[in-house]
Amino acid sequence: MPPAFTASLPYPLAGARASAGFLRRHLWYPLLAALIVSMVLMGAGGDQWLADQFYRLEGQQWALQNAWITTHLVHRGGKWASSVAALIAIVACFHAWRQPRLARWRWPLLYLVLSVALGTGAVSLLKSLTNMDCPWDLARYGGAREYIGLFASRPHDMARGICFPAGHSSAGFAWVALYFFALMVVPAWRWRGLAVGLVAGATFGLSQQLRGAHFISHDLWTVTTCWMVSLGLYVGVQTIAARRHARRTLQLQGEQA
């Protein structure tokens, strides 16, 4: 392929396409793992067991609920850090679309911006549709409500729960999109990108669990949601790139004929 034509592509086509093997590793295996772990946490009492340990270590109360490190440093500071990172990505995306020499970064940066926004948005949407309480709302942990499972019938006179999946950790887990972003630009960096999203989300999630705001399964489904959104958008962008590649190949062949 001529160098000029290669440079005109939105980005170098990654080797990992939406093949059966790719989807097995990136869709079915993670989803199956999430379902199995969820059965242990939500069905076999793993959520309550871990929350019991935190609650006991904090003196049979959520002593860290209003602590500076959890509320200000991790909760508020984490939101600001994620927002700043998203703003940087947006500015970089606009710049890339204005500069011809940065053409290869246009689609990857647009993908990253959309994936982070849609990942956090999807989690917020699910929070509004599901109906589960936070640990601190439950009588078991000093609250006033009984535990109601995700698919269990909830009494009509009980206030809605808005704690599943975990909203705050989505500000970190949404950045698992960096894995797919790296696949587009520098595939060798994909594990580093994934680590950024997982570490950020796990930090935010653990802080909220220590405050009594979430069970660990809430964070499990937050990272699963963000991963699935990132994967779906990546496959979509790859499909667009492949079609553009095919059209330009035919166009080039026509010009050379």
224 or 257, which is more confident?
Answer: 224
CA distances from 234 to 103, 113, 203, 220 (A): 18, 12, 25, 21
Q: What is the pTM of this model?
A: 0.89
CA distances from 6 to 65, 158, 178, 185, 249 (A): 54, 60, 23, 14, 10
170 or 257, which is more confident?
Answer: 170
Gap between the Cα atoms of 203 and 207, Å rounded = 6
Task: Tell me the mean pLDDT in the region 175-201.
Answer: 97
Q: How confident is the model at residue 18 (pLDDT cuts 50, 70, 90)?
A: low
